[in-house]
Amino acid sequence: MDIRTPIPTNGGDWLARFGEAWKAQTDALKQKFGEGVEEVRLPPGYPTDVPVVYVRKGALIDVLRYLRSEPGFEYGFLADITATDEMSDPRFEVVYNLLSHSRLSRIRVKTRVRDSEEVPSATGLWAAANWAEREIFDMFGIRFAGHPDLRRILMDERWVGHPLRKDYPLKGYQIFTEPEEIKPELLGGSRPSAPHLELPSGITVEHDPDDLWSDSRMIVNIGPTHPAMHGALRMAAKLNGETIEDAYCSFGFTHRAKEKLGENRTYHQWIVYTDRLNYCSALVNNVTYAMAVEKLMGVEVPERAVWIRMIVSELARITDHLVCVGINAVDLGAFSYFLYGFHQREEAYTLIEKLCGARLTTSYTRIGGLMQDAPEGFEKEVKAWVNRTRKVVDEMDELLTGNKIWHQRTIGVGIFNKEDCLNFSYSGPNARAAGVDIDLRRDQPCMFYKNVEFDVPIAQNGDVFDRYAVRLEEIRQSLNIIAQCADRMKKGPIWSEDKRVRIPDKDVVFNTMEGLIHHFKFFMTGFEVPEGEVYSGFEAANGELGFYIVSKGAPRAHRMRIRGPSVYHYQGLTPMVRGEKIADMIAALGSINIIAGELDR
Amino acid sequence: MSKDGSLGYLTTRLQEAINWGRKNSLWPLPFGTSCCGIEMMATLAADYDMARFGAEAIRFSPRQADLLIVAGIINTKMAPVLKNVYDQMSDPKFVISMGACASSGGIFNVYSVLQGIDTMIPVDVYVPGCPPAPEGLLNALLQLQDKVARADTHSQRRMAEVAKGNLARL
């Protein structure tokens, strides 16, 4: 085995399936754009999981547009935009990860840019590019020409410097004493469309100096510590009566620099940081991250470990969905519903505690294996839990799904249709609620998802009720998957035999010199990951969770990018609630399940 | 009070009676930002049920709460907000710092994270853990109740000093 070439593991016949097509596609691109395409790097010649197309800045938007809609390409889904700091000339690379829903393949477009140069903005092609580009501006200082609103997004507006540049110190703290101010100018752009609030005749109101538009419209600040804002989100809404005429969202209130830490911790050390992404379903993050690094290194995981990984992924999905629907119901006043879900979640946490000793922040996977084997009789306990949870989910279903108040608060509220979903890069249950028929577990199968039976629930309207219904049905499907996995799990090793990643057993460490040295090297310097890059996306509870890792052969990543689905979902909130009542905003926000840890990273 | 329900006598100092009342009716303001917030929710839910200790009246308005539970990371963008919320609470007010991030920054010694909220506001009880289990938060609540009964929290000590004339009223 040539360890310098990554082998597509985890569901892997990718190279066989797509190798020819990639060659044809990149040749067609070269022919079409000539000089515009600088360079094409293809696997297996270059260690990457999908073709990388380097494009000149001038041709970037044309290439992206062509890739998006040209038959034979149809990369209509913008999975992610990010950048890397190469510390050379040209200094930065802006990276576009695209996914084709119809052809189920991926491609990566890159463009090189100097420190002071601007990149043309892709906001005209995908609305989702807006925040992604703002984040790149915030983190790297790359400016985008034609971007409608290029401001800082994660960091405070008074921040100096760009944290993800290699020359920004990891501990370059900056402290502020005053919170960020509301910006009315962001809300004043367009004249209101809803009818003006009429006062009864005979009543006159003196002009209020706080009335910014002199038409009794007002700005309401919601968050970052509002009970309905799920942690630390902030929205400033311009209201006409109770109707939201315009709004803008801000976030970054829990930014913990996980991407910067990814460049400063070894691959093994960084596992703990993945827990704290979407902390409602930490196990999925662990699994996805481990799969990404394994894909980069070409490490195969033994069968038992994969089955356990599938069980814990689905367990995490269920706990996440239970929290989401429970909290959504609490926000709308249905408190007891939340208690049903939370009890079942507690039982799931007991199971997770048995696996790894922690409830929430599990750090259960290791690169190439698992922290420890499932305890004796785990399968039985899981199946018993599955049976109990089935009953509880049915009960929850009866309690709320037919409830008239629930219908009135959710049906037709917060509609986000299929086009919007694709435009804003929605994924996961939120996209499926609007009829986007994509589930990476089924469509880009990794682990043993091909070998288990499950349905992918789809709804059509894309409103709050549909998102709720899809989640509830997904819980049932995940329960089915867990039961099947528990049946098919066999005894066996849980560690890959690959010496590079396997943590030496304790008796070897304590009894042999080589083992001790190996152990010491493993934890002090970490294992080296061969040069290459990989984007590994998996269907996490909320949508497509992706890790884009660029390695330069060191024990620490050169770039550790996290594609959190919440960022793209939160970006869609403003168009989703424009024109709705402010109380419906709470319903809509609860239904798209924004998790601050994943949003702010 | 006697066992048969007839009134007897109970003598105590007024301040102790007040503190007894305070400690058994703490009204928390849950400042949950991240992972710890989820465990705090679990503590409030039926299985752990913080109501058993008289602290179930969750208030999101600082004016109506006397216990600030900071559950989760506070970064430099959030820190001024936390300070505002704390300043808006009326005395006596108590602070529980839940989890490693709030107490010390935890595993996040990075540019954006405040290295402990005690650089910003006084903290009465720290809860270790990342995140602490619900039992940890309940234990912290009991510890805080002891402190409140002894009038040994930051806020109560300051109030006592103000009453003695040693400190200016804020």
Q: What is the DSSP string of A227-287?
A: GGGTTT-EEEEEEETTEEEEEEEE--TT---HHHHHHHSBTTTTHHHHHTSSGGGHHHHHH
- At residue A7, the 3 state secondary structure works out as coil
Kindly determine whether residue A176 and residue B77, on different chains, have CB atoms separated by under 8 Å.
yes
From A145, A161, A194, the end of a domain falls on A145
Which of these, B30, B57, B52, lies nearest to B41 by C-alpha position? B30
Asked whether the ipTM of the predicted complex exceeds the cut of 0.85, the reply is no
Closest residue by Cα to residue A431 from A419, A443, A421, A444: A421
Cβ(A194)–Cβ(A243) below 8 Å: yes
Radius of gyration of chain B (CA): 17
Q: Which residues of B touch A176 (CB under 8 A)?
A: 76-77, 79-80
Query: Which residues are bridge partners to A572 per DSSP?
Result: none
Which of A360, A566, A598 should be substituted to probe chain B, the one whose Cβ sees the most B Cβ atoms within 10 Å? Answer: A360
Contacts of B76 in chain A (CB under 8 A): 156, 173-176
Would you call B84 an interface residue with chain A, using a CB distance cutoff of 8 Å? Answer: yes
Distance between CA atoms of A594 and A577, rounded to whole angstroms?
15
Tell me the shortest Cα–Cα distance from B46 to chain A, in angstroms.
Answer: 6
Pair of tokens at residue A378 = 């785990």
Any residues with CB less than 8 A from the CB of B158 and at least 6 apart, and which? B91, B167
Q: Is the pLDDT of residue B139 over 90?
A: yes
Q: Where are the alpha helices (DSSP H) in A489-557?
A: 506-511, 513-524
Phi/psi of residue A30, each to 5°? Answer: -60, -40
Contact B107 A273 (CB under 8 A): yes
Name A520's bridge partners.
none
3-state secondary structure at position A591: helix
What CA–CA distance (Å, rounded) separates A203 from A91?
64
> Does A254 sit within 8 Å of B75, measured CB to CB?
yes
A588 in Cβ contact with A580 (< 8 Å)? yes
Q: Provide the H-helix boundaries in A357-463.
A: 378-400, 404-410, 418-423, 428-432, 440-443
Note the pTM of the prediction, 2 decimals: 0.88
Residue A36's CATH number = 3.30.460.80
Helix (H) or strand (E) holding A118: strand A118-120
DSSP structural state of residue B4: T
Name B152's Cβ contacts closer than 8 Å, sequence gap at least 6. none
Q: What is the pLDDT of residue A2?
A: 37
A52 in any annotated domain: yes
Assess whether A133 and A269 both reside in one domain.
Answer: no
Q: Do B31 and A156 touch (CB under 8 A)?
A: no
Q: How far apart are CA A576 and CA A569, in angstroms?
A: 10
Cβ within 8 Å, pair B77-A255: yes
**Chain A residue at shortest CA distance from B60:** A227
Interface of B with A in 134-163 (CB under 8 A): none
Percent of chain B exceeding pLDDT 90 equals 24
**CA of A341 vs chain B CAs: smallest distance (Å):** 10
Are B78 and A172 in contact (CB < 8 Å)? no
Q: B40, B44, B74, B112: best mutation site toward chain A, by most A Cβ within 10 Å?
A: B112
Q: Which residues of A touch B68 (CB under 8 A)?
A: none
Which of A112, A145, A178 is the endpoint of a domain? Answer: A145
Chain A residues with CB-CB distance to B33 below 8 A: 231-232, 253-254, 596
CA distances from B34 to A171, A520, B101 (A): 21, 33, 10
A278 and A139 belong to one structural domain: no
Residue A166 lies in a domain: no
Mean pLDDT of chain B: 86
Residue B81: what are its φ and ψ, rounded to 5°? Answer: -65, -45
Provide the shortest C-alpha distance from residue B105 to chain A (in Å): 10
Report CB contact under 8 Å: A253, B77.
Answer: yes
Asked if A569 contacts A593 with a C-beta cutoff of 8 angstroms, the reply is yes
What's the N-to-C CA distance of chain A in angstroms? 36
| Dist CA A582 CA B157 (whole Å) | 43
CA-CA distance, A288 to A309, in Å (whole number)? Answer: 10
Please indicate, yes or no, if residue A217 is contained in any of the structural domains: no
pLDDT at res. A289: 92
Place of tokens 């009818």: A195
Cβ-Cβ pairs closer than 8 A, A with B, add up to 123
Interface of B with A in 14-33 (CB under 8 A): 31-33
Let me know whether A129 and A274 are in one domain. no
pLDDT score for A399? 87
The pair of three-digit structure tokens given for residue A472, joined into one six-digit string? 């509830």
Checking phi first, is residue B106 left (phi over 0); if not, alpha (psi -120 to 50) or beta? Answer: left
Contacts of A273 in chain B (CB under 8 A): 107
Candidates B59, B70, B60; CA nearest to B32 is B70
Under-70 pLDDT residues of chain A: 1-15, 188-200, 202-216
Q: Which among B101, B107, B111 has CB closest to A172? A: B111
Residue at A8 is within a domain: no
Query: A402 and A536 share a domain?
Result: yes
The mean per-residue pLDDT over the stretch B89-93 comes to 88
How is residue A428 written in tokens?
Answer: 């996961």
Q: Both A594 and A446 in a single domain?
A: yes
By C-alpha distance, the chain B residue nearest A258 is B108
- Rounded to an integer, what distance in angstroms lies between the CA atom of residue A41 and that of residue A29? 13
Helix-strand-coil split of chain B, %, nearest 5: 45, 10, 45
Tell me: pLDDT of B94 over 90. Answer: yes
The reply to whether A293 falls in a domain is: yes
Do strands A234-240 and A218-222 pair parallel, antiparallel, or not at all (unpaired)?
A: antiparallel
In this complex, the residue of A339, A346, A597 whose CB is nearest that of residue B35 is A597
Q: How far is A234 from chain B (nearest CA, A)?
A: 11
Closest residue on chain B to A169 (Cα): B111
Residue with tokens 């000089």: A35
Of all helices (H) and strands (E), which one includes residue A335? Answer: helix A335-356
Tokens in use for B94? 């108590």
Domain-embedded: residue A491: yes
* Distance (Å) from the alpha carbon of A427 to chain B's nearest alpha carbon: 22
In Å, how far is B89's CA from the nearest CA of chain A?
A: 14
B134: burial class by Cβ within 10 Å (0-12, 13-18, 19+)?
buried
Instruction: State yes or no: pLDDT of B158 exceeds 80.
Output: yes
- How many domains, chain A? 2
CA–CA gap between residue A389 and residue A377 (Å, rounded): 18
Q: Which of A83, A115, A145 is the last residue of a domain?
A: A145
CB contact under 8 A, B77 and A339: no
Structural domain harbouring A30: 14-145
For residues A21 and A366, what is the distance between their CA atoms, to the nearest angstrom? 34
What CATH number did the domain enclosing A295 receive? 1.10.645.10
Chain A residues whose CB is inside 8 A of the B117 CB are: none
In a domain, A450, yes or no: yes
Please state, in angstroms and rounded to a whole number, the distance separating the CA atoms of residues B155 and A309. 49
**Chain B neighbors of A166, CB-CB under 8 A:** none
Q: Nearest CA of chain A to the CA of B67: how many Å? A: 15
Which one of B35, B50, B101 makes the best mutation probe of the A interface by having the most chain A beta carbons within 10 Å? B35
The Cα–Cα gap between A418 and A113 comes to 34
Contact residues on chain B for A165, CB-CB shorter than 8 A? none
DSSP string, B14-68: HHHHHHHHHHTS--EEEEE-SHHHHHHHHHHSTTT-GGGGT------SGGG-SEE
Do A138 and A275 have their domain in common? no
**Tens digit of each residue's pLDDT (9 = 90 or more) over B11-34:** 677 888 888 888 888 899 988 888
In a domain, A536, yes or no: yes
Find out whether A188 and A212 touch, Cβ atoms under 8 Å: yes
Å from A184 to nearest chain B CA? Answer: 19
